Amino acid sequence: MAGELDVRDVSVVYSSQIWRLTKKNIAVATGITGDGRHVQGIGTSRWSGDTAMDGAIENLKENARTRDFSFQIVALEGGYANVRIEFLDEQGIYRTTGSTRGLTANKRVEVNASKEGRSVSANNDESGFSLENVGFGRRDWSEMLDGALDSAESRLDRVGTTSV
């Protein structure tokens, strides 16, 4: 699905001090493809917000190439940031809920996806025990987004007009 991609917004939504080596900066990029799809990407960097934004743009490009539907990230929750970041309808606007009881180190990504007038909600989380969810080998936010998009794609295949 090659074509043009208009990057509309890229911003750091979670910033960590450089001396906190176990935490990363998180950035989200938003764009519109040449065929009108709205897509996003997530990037992280331990060292700088600029590198996180570069990663978000690369993830945005990858998602624009590999996904044939529009989607919007609704929320990022948990992880090393131990926050809930909710993305509002206006471009580039988000709300962060600080470390509160009930949030965990397990990551969760929630998305809304749409295709041909149909829309679905999907998510991906690290609940349960898995070797992927332990220690420094934990999945990155972009991998969590990919899982949520796989789930959304599966759900979009199930909606639409059918005969009864």
pLDDT tens for each residue of the chain, 164 residues long: 457 898 998 999 888 776 666 678 889 999 999 999 999 999 998 888 899 999 999 999 999 999 999 999 988 887 766 777 888 766 555 666 665 545 556 788 899 999 988 889 888 887 655 554 454 456 788 888 899 999 999 998 888 776 77
The answer to whether residue 164 sits within a structural domain is no
The answer to whether residue 111 sits within a structural domain is yes
Residues with Cβ within 8 Å of 74's Cβ and at least 6 positions away in sequence, in order, are 86, 87, 110, 111, 112, 121
**Angstrom distance (rounded) from CA 7 to CA 31:** 4
The answer to whether residue 125 sits within a structural domain is yes
The answer to whether residue 163 sits within a structural domain is no
The answer to whether residue 161 sits within a structural domain is no
Could you give phi then psi for residue 128, rounded to 5 degrees? 80, 170
Our count of domains for the chain comes to 1
The answer to whether residue 120 sits within a structural domain is yes
pTM above 0.85, yes or no: no
The answer to whether residue 112 sits within a structural domain is yes
- Domain carrying residue 65: 5-156
The answer to whether residue 162 sits within a structural domain is no
